[in-house]
Amino acid sequence: MESTVASKLEALLKLQTIDSQLDEIKRVRGDLPEEVQDLEDEIEGYEVRVRKFDDEVANLNESIVQRKQGIKDSEGLIRKYEEQQENVRNNREYDAITKEVELQKLEIQINEKKIREAIYQIEQKNTEIEGTKHRLEERRKDLDNKKKELNQIVGESEEEETQLEQERNKAAENIEVRLLSAYTRIRGNVRNGLAVVTVKRDACGGCFNTVPPQRQADIAAQKKVIVCEHCGRILAGVEQRVF
C-alpha cells in the first residue's frame, strides 16, 4: 500500500529530528577529529624524515668503516713494498716500487679526506635530525592531549550517538529512496543541516522568507510534498499561529 503524503512528511520530520541531534553531537566535537588527523599526518611526515636521516647517517658511517679499512690496506701494502725495496736488483725496480708506494699514500690521503667529509655530513645531519626530533616530540604531546580531549567528548556522547544511529537507520527504512536522496541532497546544500522544516509565523523555518497564505494552505493540506521556493527545503507542515 502506498503511504500517504502526510505519513511521508511525518517520517521525514522524524529523520530530520534524529539527524539534527546527531549534527549537534558532531558540532560539540568541533574540529577535534580533523585536528587529530592533521597531527597524525604531520607526525608521520616527521617520522619518515627521521628514518631517512637515520638511513643516510648509517650509510655514511658504513662508508667511513670502508675507508678506514682502505687506509689499513694501503698501509699494509706500503710496508710490503718497503720490504721489497730492500731487496731490489736495480734502480728501475726501486723506482717502480717507489711509484707504487706513492700511489698508496695518495690513496690514503683520498680516504682521509672522504672520512673528514663524511664526519662533517653526519654532524650536519645530526643537527637537522635534532630539530625534527624535537618538533616530533612536541607534536606527539599535542596529539596525546587532543586525543584525550576527543576521547572524553566522544565517550560522553557515544552511547547516545549509537542509539541515534540505530533510530536513524530505522527511520530511513520507512522513506522511499527517491525522497530520501532528495532529503540527503538538500541537507548537503544547506548550512544548518535542516532539509525538512515547518512554516512558523508565516515564514519558512529554514530561510525565514515569507510563505504566502495560499501556499501555506497547500502545505497544511499535505496532498503533495512542497518545497520552499526560496531555499528548496521541504515544508512538512504549518505551525498554528497563536493569536
Comparison of 38 and 218: residue with beta carbon closer to Zn ion: 218
- Least gap, CB of 207 to Zn ion (angstroms): 3
What mask of x and - would describe binding to Zn ion in positions 96 to 135, judged by CB under 5 A? Answer: ----------------------------------------
Nearest 5°: the CA angle 64, 73, 63 is 15
Cell numbers at 226, concatenated: 512542497
Q: Which stretch binds Zn ion (CB under 5 A): 21-29, 133-141, 168-176, 222-230?
A: 222-230
Name the packing angle between helices 5-29 and 177-189 (round to 10°): 40
Interface residue with Zn ion, options 13, 50, 96, 207 (CB under 5 A)? 207
Residues in the chain: 243
Burial of 4 by CB count in 10 Å (0-12 exposed, 13-18 middle, 19+ buried)? exposed
CB within 8 Å of 208: residues ≥ 6 apart: none
Contact 157, 25 (CB under 8 A): yes
Size of the site for Zn ion (CB under 5 A): 6
Interface residue with Zn ion, options 171, 175, 204, 238 (CB under 5 A)? 204
Comparison of 129 and 204: residue with beta carbon closer to Zn ion: 204
- Least gap, CB of 184 to Zn ion (angstroms): 18
Contact 205, 198 (CB under 8 A): yes
Comparison of 64 and 231: residue with beta carbon closer to Zn ion: 231
Comparison of 63 and 198: residue with beta carbon closer to Zn ion: 198
Applying CB under 5 A, the residues found at the interface with Zn ion are 204, 206-207, 228, 230-231
